[in-house]
Structure 1
Amino acid sequence: MALKVHICAVGRLRSGPERDLLDDYLTRFDRTGRALGLGPVSMHEVEDRKNGGMSSEAPLLQGVIPKGAVICALDERGKLMSSPDFANMLGGWRDDGRGDLAFVIGGADGIDPALRAQADAKLSFGKMVWPHMLARVMLSEQLYRAASILAGAPYHRV
């Protein structure tokens, strides 16, 4: 059974360089991950039209997270991990027979504390704060890198 990946994010990524990078890495991930039981990736974008911040974004995000999914919140207070450790975490969820993995990316203020508390894992891309649109690109690159590591492909160099 494949581990389907869902990126659940606040805001819509418009066309432009970030979108091009995101699409490129997700295509690479889907191609590399398929044989490994990883993917495909689905993008779920929600918009808080009322601009209510984290508390109004949380129910919108919860509405697009598949039932029973492993939830990994991208959060500056999350765990710092190497790319091989990230790959092993993905492989572990796949090997445990989990069907869905949802990466949650909040809006400008982050993820509502109640939703963050529901996460099975919290991942940080470092102590710096990154624009949430760029976080999607960074996540997509790390997904592709993880699939490459698990496949033994030369993309990731130690």
Structure 2
Amino acid sequence: MKITLAAVLSTRSLPEAGGRWFDDYVSRIARYTPCESQAFESEKALLEWIERQQGRTRAYAILFDSRGRQYSSEEFAGQVGRLRDEGTQRVVFAIGPADGWSAAAKQRADLLLSLGLMTLPHQLARVVVAEQVYRAFTILAGHPYHSGH
């Protein structure tokens, strides 16, 4: 399974789209499965990119939205593990545009997830998503990083 951590960011945010913490979690995830980061200037560009991804299975799109489902870290790990075990080739975790996802994006999503009721800046949300993806893989591997707290 290949992981893509994607975000729709304004053009002024693109140069700093990574950040040290985010980049650190991307490289940690890569110890478990291939992982990349992608930044897009528009929702349309992101959705078109998702549809162009080739493989035996279509890219599984998990979009973060305040109205999405909320998971504990363990539940999130279970979802990631199921996708891995079912042979999903690419999972895209995407942070949307500042004004939220369009109806078309929500319809394309395989899963809408919420990070909680509070609104987070895009850069912070990206770090939280990257950390939770890393945590999910450590939970699945039985690594002590996640000690049940």
TM-score normalised by length of structure 2 = 0.87
- On the 8 A contact 2:3/2:36 being kept in 1, the answer is yes
Number of equivalent positions: 140
- Offset from partner CA, 1:27-79 (integer Å, 9 cap, x none): 11111x1xxxxx211212111xxxxxxxxx33211122125101101011011
Q: 2:58 matched to 1:64?
A: no
2:117: which partner in 1?
127
Aligned partners of 1:14 and 1:146: how far apart in 2? 28
1:29: which partner in 2?
29
The sequence identity of aligned pairs, in percent, is 40
1:45: which partner in 2?
39
1:7: which partner in 2?
5
Corresponding residue SS for 2:28: helix
- On the 8 A contact 1:71/1:119 being kept in 2, the answer is yes
Give the alignment's Cα RMSD to 1 decimal.
1.6
- On the 8 A contact 2:68/2:112 being kept in 1, the answer is yes
Offset at residue 120 of structure 1 (A): 0.9
Stretches of structure 1 that go unaligned for 5 or more consecutive residues are 34-38, 48-56
2:86: which partner in 1?
96
TM-score normalised by length of structure 1 = 0.82
Instruction: Indicate the larger mover: 119-128 or 4-13.
Output: 4-13
Corresponding residue SS for 1:155: coil
Counterpart of 1:70, as a letter, is Y
Corresponding residue SS for 1:42: strand
- On the 8 A contact 1:8/1:64 being kept in 2, the answer is no
Stretches of structure 2 that go unaligned for 5 or more consecutive residues are none
